[in-house]
Amino acid sequence: MNKILVVDDERALRLLVVDTLEIGDYEIFETDNGIDALEIAKNKKPNLIILDVMMPGMTGYEVCEHIKTNPDLAHIKILILTAKGQQADRKAAKYALADYYLSKPFSPMELLLMVEKIIED
């Protein structure tokens, strides 16, 4: 079964992502901070992590870097949710080694399709 980890400090947004993905056949884990996210990633080895960028404590980019530089976890796909949507931030997202990005606000439909495609690959 495909596992997805959702990381976002905003409760409403987390709910949105989790509920959106509900109709797919995924096992979904969620957390509101980067440190717990790394723990869950190590234990559960999800296929995909959906990651918000602006979080207190460890930012999404930092989580991304930790995952990608860890040989055990580097295979995990990362989709970054960015709210800034500016050119500079897309570059930063690429630099931070994320695999995909999606800017907020996004259409749940778009998210679902994107996730399906990522999992398929």
Q: How far apart are CA 107 and CA 73, in angstroms?
A: 29
Task: Indicate which single residue of 6, 20, 31, 50 sits in contact with another protein (rule: CB under 8 A).
Answer: 20
Q: How far apart are CA 109 and CA 24, in angstroms?
A: 12
Task: Indicate which single residue of 1, 109, 120, 121 sits in contact with another protein (rule: CB under 8 A).
Answer: 109
Q: Does 113 bind another protein (CB under 8 A)?
A: no
Least Å from the CB of residue 7 to another protein: 14
Q: Does 12 bind another protein (CB under 8 A)?
A: yes
Residues 21-60 close enough to bind another protein by CB under 8 A: 23, 32, 54, 56-57
Tokens representing residue 20 in the block: 């959106």
Q: Which residues contact 89 (CB under 8 A, 6 or more apart)?
A: 53, 82
